Amino acid sequence: MEAVAAVLKEPSGPFSIETVEVAAPKAGEVLVDIKAVGICHTDIAAATGAFGNPFPVVLGHEGAGVVEAVGEGVTNVRPGDKVLLTFNSCGECKRCKSNDPAYCLQFFPMNFGCVHSDGTNRLSKDGATVHDNFFGQSSFAAKAVANSRNVLKVADDADLATLAPLGCGIQTGAGGVMRSLSAKQGESLVVIGGGAVGLSAVMGGKIAGCDPIILIEPQVARREEGLALGATHAIDPIAQANTAEAVRAIVPEGVDMVVDTSGYLPAVEQAVNMVCTLGRIGLIGVPGSLDAALPVPLVQFITMGGTVRGIIEGDSDITGFLPELIAHHAAGRLPVDQIITRYPFSEINQAIEDGHHGKCIKAVLTFD
């Protein structure tokens, strides 16, 4: 069958809206009629070829839609089900078996390889391969062939455009605080960066009962959004360049947790001076350089019992944390609607441009 897709023909090229041919799902695969898809920073990084992914390719990894067909052996969803898509994992390695799919030993090939497990692709254009299965979905398209392991059935009345970004950006920020750093009631939290992931970390901190929640973000509109979503304080790092000092003016002994969503090294470096004894620093934002390093003062960190850890997808999992987040949203505790701007799918390039200029926080493309 045919479907429209945003095809990226070469690294850093524009997304070109084209009609592609979509093959039927094979064993273990799920054909999804995509209704909405969020744009995540990882799409933009992958569009440059930074992850070594092949071209031409269809990206997109915050998809949501309706199941159209299932391949042999798929039992968790059936045609007509509304589904949310998330990252892919193998289901067989030691990390998948311990229910840590974000740290699947096959995470990189399964999410960035842009090929299905049998080594072939489901999309083509004029007989030539168009790479798909990015994050197990390639949902910048009206139809995506996902995998049973990365589709979750949601309620029939679910608003797919609102839930779509839960599959990556929202679970990464909220889970980074709630799961990866195991935030507890009353603990103090600093969030560096007020984009979609950072603001989700703020929302996650509020759900966990953190207090204070301090957001460090240079754009005034995003600081205000952070305060509206549960931050108790907001620091402008342009006005107060020594952010560690600014944090200690609020919490003199230092905070329990810092989560960085900026990947901006000068901002991250200050985190080591923000934390109290037993302080935990979580790193989510990916720096622009593979060689980026964080100097950790060893004696200080040993004596204070400090932790620095990396975070992928907020340690989320599709059967546990993702449904938990959907329930938090339904109960009004995860007001993601406030950070979403909807665009028609055909305006994908404009949506990315607006994101670059801070005109939107989380763009969601819709197909209706």
Q: Which residues bind Zn ion (CB under 5 A)?
A: 40, 42, 89-90, 93, 96, 104, 168
Residue with tokens 């990315």: 352
Name which of 32 and 39 has its Cβ closer to Zn ion: 39
Question: Shortest Cβ distance from residue 106 to Zn ion (Å)?
Answer: 5
Question: Shortest Cβ distance from residue 167 to Zn ion (Å)?
Answer: 8
Question: Shortest Cβ distance from residue 103 to Zn ion (Å)?
Answer: 8
Q: Say how far apart CA 228 and CA 357 lie, in whole Å.
A: 21
Name which of 60 and 279 has its Cβ closer to Zn ion: 60
Q: Say how far apart CA 20 and CA 138 lie, in whole Å.
A: 13
Name which of 147 and 188 has its Cβ closer to Zn ion: 147
Question: Shortest Cβ distance from residue 90 to Zn ion (Å)?
Answer: 3
The closest of 111, 114, 135, 113 to 123, measured between CA atoms, is: 114
The amino acid at residue 163 is: L
Name which of 40 and 178 has its Cβ closer to Zn ion: 40
Question: Shortest Cβ distance from residue 233 to Zn ion (Å)?
Answer: 27
Name which of 87 and 345 has its Cβ closer to Zn ion: 87
Name which of 109 and 212 has its Cβ closer to Zn ion: 109
Question: Shortest Cβ distance from residue 110 to Zn ion (Å)?
Answer: 8
Name which of 148 and 232 has its Cβ closer to Zn ion: 148
Question: Shortest Cβ distance from residue 287 to Zn ion (Å)?
Answer: 16
